[in-house]
Structure formats: C-alpha cells, structure tokens
C-alpha cells in the first residue's frame, strides 16, 4: 500500500550478564523490553518476533559498561507499552540516582499519587525494561527488599553492584523472603 506505514517486526536477542541471560526486544528500532531469565510478568514472545543479534549493539555496549561499573545512567531510545500511570511510574524510576534507593511510598509521592504506593508497586513490577529502568532501586518503607520480578537475589546483586561503584560506603543488604 502506498503511503501506509508498515511496522517492522519486533526483533530480539539474548545476551549474557552477571545476573544471568537477558532477553532484549526492539520494536521499530526502539528498545521495548529487557527481561531476565525466569522473570515474573515476562511477556510471551510474539510469533512475529525475529531474532537479530546485530541490532542491539548500543544496548549491549551500555549494559557491558554498567556491569563494569563505568556507566551510571543509560541513554537509549526506548518505548514502553503500558497505561499512562505505569509510564509515569517508569519515568520516575529513571530519576532515582544510581546507587540510591527510595521507598514505594516516596515513589508514589514523586508521581503525585501519595496514597497509591500499592499501585506504584504493581506498576514497578510490570516494568518492561528492567535494569535500564531501575525498578531494583525501590524498596520497602522499612528498608526491606520487598520483592523483585527478576528475583530477590538479582535485586541484591544489582544494589550491591551500584553501591560498590557509587561511593565509599559499601551497602550490605539482607535478603528477605518474597511475599507469596
């Protein structure tokens, strides 16, 4: 059809990382997901999705730099499918400084919904671009690690990694049981 905009098939690749394999997906040239192996809320792969290991160089370079402790803020073209509220929460996550944490209640205040910490937690759990959109930096009001779609062990690893590379005081985190 002349003049019609044809959306390219989404592409995907899997890369190795210190927290295990990461599955990356792009849609229309924009990063649309980063999921860890066995992650809760990971989407089922679309049958139209095609493997393309060559289309992710910029993403993998920045992830490599992050895991080496040399990158504290990602700068990648992304698209995130979700509700308006979810996208507000995900945008706010990107404002949490590297090596720091905030509570779900504080994040709720950041998105101007101070009584919506549970809804913020649900949106946080549905973040489609883990690590790069740092949902791992959100913790319970009492400082507990109250769950992570990629698993609490990975959340601990990511927070300790950032603490090692962000300042003089090492962060020690206690792993707590995930809610059922």
pLDDT of residue 40: 72
Residue 1 covered by a domain: no
pLDDT of residue 43: 65
- Looking at the fold, whether 89 and 62 belong to one and the same domain comes out as no
pLDDT of residue 55: 86
- Looking at the fold, whether 91 and 147 belong to one and the same domain comes out as yes
Neighbouring C-beta atoms of residue 154, cutoff 10 Å: 22
Q: Helix (H, G, I), strand (E, B), or coil: what is residue 11?
A: strand
pLDDT of residue 2: 36
- Looking at the fold, whether 57 and 89 belong to one and the same domain comes out as no
Residue 24 covered by a domain: yes
- Looking at the fold, whether 88 and 25 belong to one and the same domain comes out as no
Using the 3D structure, point to which of 39, 67, 95 is the last residue of a domain: 67
Residue 116 covered by a domain: yes
- Looking at the fold, whether 102 and 150 belong to one and the same domain comes out as yes
Residue 177 covered by a domain: no
Q: Does residue 135 have an active-site annotation?
A: yes
Residue 131 covered by a domain: yes
- Each as own residue / partner, the long-range contacts of residues 100-104 (CB below 8 Å, 24 or more positions apart, any chain) are 100/137, 100/166, 101/137, 101/138, 101/139, 101/159, 102/137, 102/138, 102/139, 103/138, 103/139, 103/140, 103/141, 104/138, 104/139, 104/140, 104/141, 104/146
Tell me the CATH number at 120.
Answer: 1.10.10.10
- Looking at the fold, whether 126 and 96 belong to one and the same domain comes out as yes
Residue 149 covered by a domain: yes
Residue 173 covered by a domain: no
DSSP letters of 47-113?
TT-EE-TTTTHHHHHHHHHHHTT--SS----B---S-HHHHHHHHHHTTSPTT--EEHHHHHHHTT-
User: Are 83 and 150 in contact, with CB atoms under 8 Å apart?
Assistant: no
pLDDT of residue 174: 46
Q: How many domains does the chain have?
A: 2
127 CA to centre of own chain: 6
Give the active site residue among 24, 131, 133, 135. 135
Residue 153 covered by a domain: yes
Residues spanned by the domain of 58: 11-67
- Looking at the fold, whether 90 and 48 belong to one and the same domain comes out as no
- Looking at the fold, whether 101 and 144 belong to one and the same domain comes out as yes
Q: What are phi and psi of 174, to 5 degrees?
A: -95, 130
Residue ranges of the chain with per-residue pLDDT less than 70? 1-7, 41-46, 167-180
pLDDT of residue 170: 46
């Amino acid at each position: 059809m002349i003049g019609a905009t044809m959306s390219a098939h989404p592409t995907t690749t899997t890369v190795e990382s210190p927290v295990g394999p990461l599955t990356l997906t792009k849609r229309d040239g924009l990063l649309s997901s980063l999921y860890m192996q066995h992650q809760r809320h990971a989407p089922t792969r679309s049958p139209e999705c095609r493997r393309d290991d060559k289309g992710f160089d910029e993403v993998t370079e920045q992830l490599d730099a992050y895991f080496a402790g040399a990158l504290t803020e990602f700068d990648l073209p992304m698209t995130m499918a979700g509700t308006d509220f979810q996208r507000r929460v995900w945008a706010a996550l990107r404002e949490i400084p590297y090596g720091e944490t905030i509570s779900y209640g504080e994040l709720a205040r950041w998105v101007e919904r101070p009584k919506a910490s549970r809804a913020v937690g649900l949106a946080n759990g549905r973040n489609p671009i883990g690590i790069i959109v740092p949902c791992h930096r959100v913790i319970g009001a009492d400082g507990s690690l109250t769950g992570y779609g990629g698993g609490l062990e990975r959340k601990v690893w990511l927070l300790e990694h950032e603490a090692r590379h962000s300042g003089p005081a090492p962060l020690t985190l206690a792993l707590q049981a995930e809610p059922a």
